[in-house]
Amino acid sequence: MDSSTNHKHIIYQMFPRLFGNTNTTNKFYGSIDENGVGKLNDINDKALQELKAMGFTHIWYTGIVEHATMTDYSQFGIKPDDPDVVKGRAGSPYAIKDYYDIDPDLAVDVKKRMKEFEALVKRTHTNGLKVLIDFVPNHVARTYNSDAKPKGVRDFGADDDTTQAFSPRNDFYYTPGQAFVVPQGYNPGGEGFTSPLKDGKFDENPAKAIGNDVFSATPAINDWFETLKLNYGVDYLNNRECHFDPIPPVWQKMYDILHFWTEKGVDGFRCDMVEIVPAEFWGWLIPKLKEAHPQLIFIGEAYDPRIYGKYIFTGHFDYLYDKEGLYDGIRRLTRNEWNATIWDINKVVFYESKDFPEHMLRFMENHDEVRIAAPDFAGSPWLAVPGMIVTATLSTGPVMIYSGQEVGEPAVGPEGFSGNDGRTTIFDYWGMPELQKWVNGHKFDGGGLSDEQKQLRRFYSTLLNVAGQNEAFTHGNFYELMLANQHSRGFDERVYAYLRYTDVQRVLVLVNFSRYEREINIMLPRDVIDMMLLRGAIAFSDMLGDKVYHTINIEDGLYIKLPASGGVLLNF
């Protein structure tokens, strides 16, 4: 049994800074005035209705919380950030400057930025969708300074004893006697950016440890030098000795922060880099928040399959990224790499997440990964069709799409701090040219899309609605068919097959990762034929199209031609 639940979360990851931006300039290292920026108010009822119709149940609004930036908002009482410790003109959304505030870039009226967010939450709910936002627990911006914190809240580090490298009562880790040194060679904002604060220095003495567990005053340029690591009671320099009793101050501060956002109507959190925060903290935090809000969902960004179970059963996460398992295997198959094999999928099914498939979040794109249409991935969005079918239907767990994926956004060219790496920048002011064709001046009607892009978007819409509205996928069982078909006609390491079924619905999933059409004869094992009481002639209807396939005798299998880089969901 895959899951006891009767629903499937279908998540649209949206970066508001990019999503509503209709400016097409895209100047390298451009400013907010040159390249423009999307606003929360751009995400109107029509946009949300279109996403709802596409099959989505949740919107993950990425980069909502205020983070460090090179844009000056001092006229609004916001303290400027030193660009020497900011990555990109817009700044990283994972270098949080104030856990209690909204990124001013996203507001039409900066002074009313929280009200604009509250209106977006209400608008999202009114249109039948739930709201997810980021929670970044491991680190904060080097310039963290909360000017929006509720009365009585103490800022991180305000009560620290900075003479100690580690204390269980401190919020940060320190390097006593050493001042922080900006990595040599960093040129914030590029050649055209000037600021009185851009001097290659940042005043921090003693230096604090940084987010990627570097306990040094002189981090390298490839480190997360713009962030400060928070102290959850683990003494990393003393055999990772844990001090969890009494509860470290950071634990309670983080609870207060998430409680604040749940009171704003947020329905769940995508939690950043959960494995570098102790599982014991999550095991304390998540149940405590769910006492008052039992429907909250927690998604963890995780990368080590060996400890997935720990973060699900001890940490109480609802879902974890399935990146190192399913994503990596499907990426190799989609790229037609020489060592790609469908047995990588079976490794996930039978080993890595065998005991908790319903807890794994599947995807083929997110903000950290190369775009499917980028040359460094597949070069064509259509090559992802078989992978997306598997991603969406392999288990009852959630599936996620990254904004722009549905129209083939390729992320071509360098944007500024982000190089030409096939990823849409999270550090720079930018517009997504292909998504802008669907946004169409905030009409959200796809008026600028090509016929091929409209067809691609229809594929995603059909797939996601089928996955979210049919019980075989929302709470059905899984039966792997590759072992029974190793020697069947047309099968090799580029073809994959399985069943999803309940007592009242049965779906045969067939995908072909090969670049060529495949003629196959799929055999159902005797135990499946007997369990499902199958006899004689059977009709199979493709849920992704209008074709119907027939077999005269099910015991002889089903003959079918699978299109190159394609697949079918056969209801029978």
Higher per-residue pLDDT: 565 or 192: 565
161 assigned to some structural domain: no
Around Cβ 295, how many Cβ atoms within 10 Å? Answer: 8
For strands 506-512 and 495-501, give the pairing.
antiparallel
| pLDDT score recorded for residue 6 | 66
pLDDT at 525: 97
Assess whether 87 and 36 both reside in one domain: yes
Angle at which helices 451-469 and 385-393 cross, to 10°: 20
Q: How far apart are CA 329 and CA 511, in angstroms?
A: 14
Confidence (pLDDT) at 392: 98
pLDDT in tens, 231-250: 999 999 999 999 999 999 99
Per-residue pLDDT tens over the stretch 121-156: 999 999 999 999 999 999 999 999 999 999 999 999
pLDDT band at 192 (very low <50, low <70, confident <90, very high): confident
What tokens appear for 246 in the block?
Answer: 């009494």
pLDDT over 90 at 4, yes or no:
no
Instruction: Tell me the per-residue pLDDT of 257-299, one tens digit each, with 9 for 90 and over.
Output: 999 999 999 999 999 999 999 999 999 999 999 999 999 999 9
Instruction: Please determine, for residue 311, whether its predicted confidence score (pLDDT) is greater than 90.
Output: yes
Contact call for residues 208 and 172 (beta carbons, < 8 A)? yes
- Point out the domain boundary residue: 435, 469, 503: 469
462-491 pLDDT, tens digit each: 999 999 999 999 999 999 999 999 999 999
Measured between alpha carbons, how far is 431 from 439 in angstroms, rounded to an integer?
Answer: 11
Assigned token pair, 349? 């099914």
The boundaries of the domain holding residue 275 are: 10-144+248-469
Taking alpha carbons only, the member of 357, 304, 361, 383 closest to residue 480 is: 357
- Find the Cα–Cα–Cα–Cα dihedral 34, 94, 13, 393, rounded to 10°: 150
The reply to whether 408 and 505 lie within a common domain is: no
What is the model's pLDDT at position 2? 35
CATH number at residue 345: 3.20.20.80
**Is 405 within the bounds of a domain?**
yes
- Tell me, yes or no, whether 423 and 496 share the same domain: no
In this structure, the answer to whether residues 442 and 566 fall within a common structural domain is: no
What pLDDT is recorded for position 427?
Answer: 98
Domain annotation covers residue 515: yes
Q: What's the confidence (pLDDT) of residue 3?
A: 36
Same domain for 430 and 293?
yes
CA dist 266 → 67, 210, 296, 366 (Å): 19, 29, 8, 21
Average pLDDT over residues 395-409: 98
Q: In the listed set 443, 469, 495, which residue is the last one of a domain according to the structure?
A: 469
**Does one domain contain both 301 and 416?**
yes
Residue pair 256/118 in contact (Cβ under 8 Å)? The answer is no
Please check whether residue 117 is in contact with residue 108, taking contact to mean a CB–CB distance below 8 angstroms: no
Structure tokens at 334: 């989609």
The residue count of the chain comes to 572
Q: 395 in a domain, yes or no? A: yes
pLDDT band at 7 (very low <50, low <70, confident <90, very high): confident
Buried b (16+ CB within 10 A) or exposed e, 138-164: bbbbbbbbbeebeeeeebbbeebeeee
Instruction: List the Cα angle 535/541/547 in 5-degree steps.
Output: 130
Taking the C-alpha atoms of residue 224 and residue 228, their distance in angstroms, rounded to an integer, is 8
Shared domain check, 429 and 285: yes
Share of the chain above pLDDT 90, in %: 98
**Domain boundary pick from 469, 504, 532:** 469
Number of domains in the chain: 2
Task: Judge if 449 and 558 occupy the same domain.
Answer: no
What rounded mean pLDDT belongs to the chain?
96
Verify that 436 and 531 share a domain, yes or no: no
Q: Residue 209 corresponds to which amino acid?
A: A
Q: Which residues contact 396 (CB under 8 A, 6 or more apart)?
A: 2, 3, 5, 8, 357, 358, 473, 474, 475, 476
* CATH code of the domain in which 567 resides: 2.60.40.1180
Q: Quick one: 425 and 528 in the same domain? A: no
Residue 225 lies in a domain: no
In a domain? residue 235: no
pLDDT tens-digit profile of 58-117? Answer: 999 999 999 999 999 999 999 999 999 999 999 999 999 999 999 999 999 999 999 999
Residues 487 and 447 in one domain: no
End-to-end Cα, the chain, rounded Å: 20
Same domain, 21 and 123: yes
CB 105 within 8 A of CB 89: no
Give the pLDDT of residue 265: 98
Kindly report the backbone phi and psi dihedral angles of residue 269, in degrees, each rounded to the nearest multiple of 5, phi listed first: -135, 135
The percentage of residues in the chain with a pLDDT greater than 70, rounded to a whole number, is 99
Those residues whose C-beta lies under 8 Å from the C-beta of residue 502, and which sit 6 or more positions away, are 471, 472, 475, 476, 477
